[in-house]
Amino acid sequence: MILEELKKIIKESDDFLVSSHINPDGDAIGGILSIGWLLNKLRKRFIIVVDSSPSEKFKYLADFKKIVSYSESLKIDFTIKNLLTVDVPNLERLEKVNKLIPKGIKVVNIDHHESNSKFGDINFIDLKACSCTEMVYELINSFGMSLDKDVAEYIYTGLVIDTGRFRFSSTTPRAFEVAAKLSEAGARVSFIAEWLYHTNSMETLKGLGVLLDSLDMNMNGRIAFVHFDNEYLKSEEGSKMDTEGFVNYPLSIENVEVAAFLQETEKGRVKVSLRSKNNNINVNNIAATFGGGGHAKAAGCRIKGTIADAKKLLLQEISKKTN
């Protein structure tokens, strides 16, 4: 059984690099912090590194500041012998963190994406899991450890983010069972909901206004695009906003089946977040066309070119999946 193999490696090994995808979301952050909590309890040596700075939206998590942002000058005071990734469909998504990975080390891959390339020596993949933190919860349980408030909040954060506050169709009865256990362990469920979904900076609200002004409806109102250009993302206001959940605004429009949120992160490169409400339009397959991936109803990719180029290419692919 994969879980037993994973336990064995963690018990018998040391010197872990723990990481997740670039621009980590709540599930990624909660997942790597939960793994860090487990390794710390087992008195293992580890470091958590991601490419890019994690969103300050998650600063309420106890060990948030222990997540290291990759830099060329980063010094690690031990030799990495094991890589443990969470919420990563392929190693390319680690971006610059790949520079830290020595050849020949053991790789553990914990993920719930259908697009996962199974790049690990151990691949703990569960497509039915609502979040990666739910999977880490099962791992921690297998060690027979009692949860404290800190790890309960790491896991709950990932669960609430990846289930869309328990409203996505992928939400299972097990998700509610786990949430109840996390609440019992001390997770501040009310505070987390208030902080994540009802607390915004002024920059975030202004950014949302700019985004909605860019709304571009296509295919008789079935496809909605919104975007930020590079100039706005680099502005003082744009650089301070938190875009988590922005893609859900165009998706919420009546009759919209697919929403695409485009961000020109640099000139000639567009980050794309895709969401679908149509069971027959699998955005994971659309994202895979451009080297990305994710889930059937939530996926992402990067496209070379301008915002206009990205829209044209996406429309071509989406139109192939619609009647």
> Domains (ranges, CATH) in the chain?
2-197 (3.90.1640.10), 202-321 (3.10.310.30)
Mean pLDDT of the residues in the chain: 95
pLDDT band at 180 (very low <50, low <70, confident <90, very high): very high
Percent of the chain with pLDDT over 70: 100
pLDDT band at 228 (very low <50, low <70, confident <90, very high): very high
Q: Which whole number is the average pLDDT over 182-198?
A: 97
What pLDDT, on the 0 to 100 scale, is given for residue 39? 98
pLDDT surpassing 70 at residue 306? yes
Q: What pairing do the DSSP bridges indicate for beta strands 16-19 and 82-86? A: parallel
**Mean pLDDT, residues 209-218:** 98
pLDDT of residue 298: 92
* Among 190, 185, 165, 187, residue whose Cα is nearest residue 176: 165
Judge whether residue 142 has pLDDT over 70. Answer: yes
What mean pLDDT is predicted for residues 91-110? 96
Mean pLDDT of 74-83: 96
Q: How confident is the model at residue 321 (pLDDT cuts 50, 70, 90)?
A: confident
Closest CA to 189 of 162, 152, 164, 219: 152
Residue 1 pLDDT more than 90?
Answer: no
What is d(CA 128, CA 249) in angstroms, rounded to the nearest whole number?
26
**Confidence band of 284 (pLDDT split at 50, 70, 90):** very high
Q: Which pLDDT belongs to residue 275?
A: 96
Q: pTM for the complete prediction?
A: 0.89
What pLDDT does 148 receive? 98
**Cα dist. 247→205, 224, 264, 280, 299 in Å?**
14, 10, 15, 19, 11
CA pair distance 30, 154, nearest whole angstrom: 4
Direct distance between the N- and C-terminal alpha carbons of the chain, in angstroms, rounded to an integer: 42
| Phi and psi angles of residue 322, each rounded to the nearest 5 degrees, phi first | -115, 160
Q: Does the pLDDT of residue 26 top 80, yes or no?
A: yes
The pLDDT, as a whole number, for residue 301 is: 93
What pLDDT does 323 receive? Answer: 58
The pLDDT value given to residue 294: 87
pLDDT category of residue 169 using cuts at 50, 70 and 90: confident
DSSP state letter for 26: H
As a dihedral over the C-alpha atoms of residue 79, residue 81, residue 87, residue 89, rounded to 10 degrees, the angle is 110
